[in-house]
Structure 1
Amino acid sequence: MKASLALCLLTSLLGLGMAHYSVRFDDPDGASRSKRISNHEYGIGSNTSCANCLKFATQSIKTLVNLLRDDVINECGDLCGALANKTNNEIGEICTSLCDLVGINGFMKIIQIVDLDPFYYCDLLDQCPVNDYGDAAITSITVVPKSGPQGTLFQFPLQYFSLNGTGVGEFAVYVETVDGVPVQDTQLNFAHPPGTHVVFLNVETKPDPNCDPSQGPCEKWLPGLYNATVAICEGECESNHPHSYIYDAIELSFEITGK
């Protein structure tokens, strides 16, 4: 179950010169090539295309898999038209633009091998920067407040340092709850240049009023000690696909007190 965890990202970028870093991109056919990227390419332009692709992939991969399983499709227009009928015209248009980049055969091959991993999907379509030499080390993290009643918003100010810059990935938060309900959430983290970066992770310990117990257990945020693990990853944290790495992870705890 995903809790109601909100993440507000405040990034402090250091060293914004024109130094260049060599990263590797993989083609859908498995060939590798090098690309030189500057710090400026970690900015809005690359983030926009990557964010659009990840949003599309998150919303559409499962539907695309089902469409390819149920129908014989030979053209991008046929596949993306069917997707638009299942979703909306905007999703269909994005599908067409991405499919046209690699052709229908390449597009179908990517869909079939990514295993519902949106990061790997967008990597193969060259929509998100990949940094196989990326790194990130958590240098400080704390919890504010240390304890509070049910409904408290616990904030995790986190600082990390990167020597070689990072690829596109995510922050993952895993919480061991008192009643044993698995709670986890992830948040997109764009590629960043070398330097020190700061994020604020917010864990809201308020029971979800929309949680349906018939669909799965609902976290009640009972009084007690909660252990949390925070991870910084390139790609999807628990993925076995190429370009997926856990840069660093750290454990900490907070307490929910009685009323």
Structure 2
Amino acid sequence: MMNVVLALALVVCCGFSISQAKYDDKHGRQLTLGASPVNLKKPDLDLCNVCYQLTGQTINQLLNIILNGAVVGGCNELCGLLNASEAIDVACNLVCDLVGIKEFIAAIEKADLDPVYMCEILKACKVFDEGDANITAFTITPKQGPAGTEFQLEVDFKTKNGTGTGEAVIEVHTVDHFPVDGGQLMESLDPGSYSIKFTLQTQKNCQQEPCEMWEKGIYNVTMRLCNGECGSKHPHSQLYDTATGSFQITAED
């Protein structure tokens, strides 16, 4: 599975993106879950989201830096070794400074490339292992269209006890078997009913080869809601629920 997470923004991979993620809780509020870039200057900074986006983009780099024996005296030095944007450097320093360089390095080593688990180790994201989430509906519209069609995917679910920090992940089983998937951080939620919307762009847009060609045929889709990273073997990880759907590409570009 190809997991691509853009730091401080939404997942965009092979034409797949998260367009909206909101829920109505028992108080009738509507909140957006990570549906806009993080503003690091906001006083109510969402540290869990910042940590998740940061680690999803850089945890492999950070681990390699540490394993290669780089000598770092502080957060600024470690984050400065990243081959990343200025926004990533700022986020790296922010999270590292909050926990301390020793704790930051220890979490990177222990997390074993699992961004959710790392952020839980750093106490940036809440741990709750008694949670649940049951999918009540999973819809894809339209049901068919030519390559280039924008498909809307929506999952509705309920939680009786609330959830831990986890992920909502979509995997598209393509005709040519090219991996197309994406996901969204699902921060710890109170009991209630929730809806997450995704947008799937099927316009061929290959910046490098190979890429998804969106050939004619049936495309099966799997939706997963997870505590922790989907598929992780680390503590605080489990599959809450899964659902499937499909759409058809009727003509190629």
Match of 2:18 among 7, 32, 46: 7
Q: Distance in 2 between matches of 1:196 and 1:83?
A: 39
Q: Say what the alpha-carbon RMSD is for the aligned residues.
A: 2.8
AA in 2 matched with 1:175: V
Q: Could you say which residue in structure 1 is the equivalent of 2:192?
A: 195
Q: Could you say which residue in structure 2 is the equivalent of 1:126?
A: 123
Q: Could you say which residue in structure 2 is the equivalent of 1:83?
A: 79
Q: Could you say which residue in structure 1 is the equivalent of 2:50?
A: 52
Taking only the aligned residue pairs, the percentage that are identical comes to 37
Match of 1:115 among 105, 108, 112: 112
Contact 2:206–2:212 (CA under 8 A) maintained in structure 1: no
Provide TM-score, normalisation by structure 2. 0.79
Contact 2:228–2:236 (CA under 8 A) maintained in structure 1: yes
Contact 1:173–1:231 (CA under 8 A) maintained in structure 2: yes
Q: Does 1:233 align with 2:226?
A: yes
Equivalent positions of 1:135-146 (< 5 A) are 135-146=132-143
Q: Distance in 1 between matches of 2:153 and 2:90?
A: 39
AA in 2 matched with 1:183: V
Query: Which structure: greater helix fraction?
Result: 1
1:90/1:221 Cα in 2 relative to 1: closer, same or farther (>3 Å)? closer
Contact 2:114–2:229 (CA under 8 A) maintained in structure 1: yes
Q: Distance in 2 between matches of 1:45 and 1:239?
A: 32
The alpha carbon displacement at 1:45 in A equals: 8.2
1:10/1:177 Cα in 2 relative to 1: closer, same or farther (>3 Å)? closer
- Residues 137-171 of structure 1: CA deviation (Å, up to 9, x unaligned): 11012221111111111112221000011122221
Q: Distance in 1 between matches of 2:125 and 2:101?
A: 20
Contact 1:173–1:228 (CA under 8 A) maintained in structure 2: yes
Equivalent positions of 1:217-256 (< 5 A) are 217-256=210-249
The alpha carbon displacement at 1:94 in A equals: 4.6
Contact 2:103–2:122 (CA under 8 A) maintained in structure 1: no
Q: Which structure has the greater CA radius of gyration?
A: 1
Point out where structure 1 has 5 or more consecutive residues left out of the alignment.
Answer: 18-41
Equivalent pairs counted in the alignment come to 230
1:106/1:229 Cα in 2 relative to 1: closer, same or farther (>3 Å)? same
Q: Does 1:106 align with 2:103?
A: yes
Q: Distance in 1 between matches of 2:27 and 2:68?
A: 50
1:200/1:101 Cα in 2 relative to 1: closer, same or farther (>3 Å)? closer
Q: Distance in 1 between matches of 2:157 and 2:101?
A: 41
Larger mean CA deviation between 99-108 and 55-64 belongs to: 99-108
Q: Distance in 2 between matches of 1:218 and 1:243?
A: 34
1:93/1:258 Cα in 2 relative to 1: closer, same or farther (>3 Å)? closer
AA in 1 matched with 2:142: P
SS in 1 for 2:104: helix
Q: Could you say which residue in structure 2 is the equivalent of 1:257?
A: 250
